[in-house]
Every structure is written in C-alpha cells, then in structure tokens.
Amino acid sequence: MHDAALQAPIPAPPAPQQQADPGTPEPLAGAPAAPDQLPAAAPPAPETQAEPEAPLGPPVEGIDVSNHNGDIDWSQVAAEGKKFTFVLATDGTSFTNPRYGEQYHGAKEAGLIAGAYHFARPGSSSAEEQAERFLNTAEYQADGKTLPPVLDLEVDPKAGGCYGLNVDQMQQWTKTFNEKVKDRTGKDAIIYANPSFWRECMGSTDSFGNHALWLASYDVDNPAVPSGFGDWDFWQYTSKGKVAGINTNTDLNQYKEGLARLERLAR
C-alpha cells in the first residue's frame, strides 16, 4: 500500500470587487436629497367646521334701565322672568350714569345677560371722543354674559332734529362711532333707533343693515322696521312697564329670536 500525499486545498480565487455604478454617484455631504428620498408630505389639515346656528325660539323678555330707575332688586327682576337688560353707561360728552356699576354688575350677578348703551349727542363732540368715554365706562367683556355695546340714536332732546348735522354728517358720525366700538371689542354695535329718526336724520340708509337693530316703537302689535334694516332684533315696546324689584316705570323689551340666540349674541 503506497502512502498517499496529502494535498493542500487549492484556495478559491478572490471574489471580484463590487464596482460602483458610475451612473449613480454618492450624494455629497449637504447636498439636497433626491426626490424619492424626500419625507412624505403632511396630510392636509381638516377644514374647520362652521358652528351650527343656534335654534330659533320664542321671544325673550328683558328691560333697560338708567339712573332714573334708582335702586333695583335684581333677584326680583330675574324671578319675574326677565332674561336681559341694557344699562345706560354714558350720555353725550360728559354725563356718566352714577349707578352704572351697581346696575350692570347687579344684573349679571342675578343671572341676567347685560349690555351697556351710550346716548349719542353728535352735535356736542366727536364720535371718537364719545365712543372712547363710553367704552372706558362700559367695561365690555366677552364673558358669555355681555351683549354688544349699544349706540342709542334719538332726536336732540333739547332742540329736536338732528343736532344741527345733515344726513351725510350723521351717517359719518355713526360710522366712526361704530368703527371705534369694533376696534375695541371686536363686536358690531347694536343700534337703537325709531323709524322717524332713521328716516329724517339718517336718510333711511342701509349702510348699517349688518348691525343688530334695537327698535323703539310703542303701542303697536307689529312695529314698522326702518328702511335699511331687514328686521328688528330687540323691540322696546313700552316705557311704562311694571317690574318687580323696580319702584319706577320701566322700559320693557323683547329679543325676537329666543334664548339660545340671545346667549350666542352675548358670546
């Protein structure tokens, strides 16, 4: 038997080196990523859904008061079913209701929705001056219990007529006052007026038709709405109301569209 020589295994040839594809060079540091390497785009934000309109309801009863109404027991007013009040804050250039704080805050503490009003005297000073003083007194708050500020437009109580201003001047004064209210509160002022004033002093303009209308019209079943407005929102229907907790005659009002919409207006 011959000794077989043990042969060392033949080493395998080296594997060929992987050659870089000259057509796809490596990106340089800091170079923008290739389009297929970009992060996926974020999905579009969902569209904001408009808040549904508050339901229409039966008219809501309320009042408006001033310093002439004296001391008021607001708990009795609330117990009688009154849901809102407007309170005189300022009149013209210089008068401030000395009872404004107690009336306004007393109503809110009793659960009423409250708003402040300014008796305008356009012939005595500028709209900016009267609006500024009114807003400083009214202390408007977007607290869910406060109605938009009110501009009370009536004939000159001393001389009658339109305070010595023509229709264009009255419209400009009103526009400027309302712009000041909007700038300070984010709300469009409620406008208080009666049909004859709106016709004679404001020329039946429709420039303020987007404002809520507080209409003064007594002793009628269906008040006439001034030209320029689609309908009334608040209606002051008597100045001789009797309300528990108030010793004097009181202005009585309705809000036309129900409690839910009144509460929405106060937001």
Instruction: Decide if 219 is catalytic.
Output: no
Tokens representing residue 189 in the block = 């002022």
Instruction: Decide if 64 is catalytic.
Output: yes
* Residue tagged active-site, from 91, 152, 233, 257: 152
Tell me phi and psi for residue 191, to 5 degrees: -110, 125
CA distance 122 to 59: 33
126-130: list long-range contacts, CB under 8 Å, 24+ apart: 126/173, 126/176, 127/173, 127/174, 127/175, 127/176, 127/177, 127/180, 128/176, 128/177, 128/180, 129/93, 130/90, 130/92, 130/93, 130/177
Instruction: Decide if 36 is catalytic.
Output: no
CA distance 194 to 191: 10
Tell me phi and psi for residue 258, to 5 degrees: 100, 165
* Residue tagged active-site, from 102, 129, 154, 263: 154
The string over 219-246, giving b where at least 16 C-beta atoms fall within 10 Å of a residue's C-beta and e elsewhere, is: eeeebebbebbeebbbbbbeeebebebb
Residues noted as catalytic: 64, 152, 154
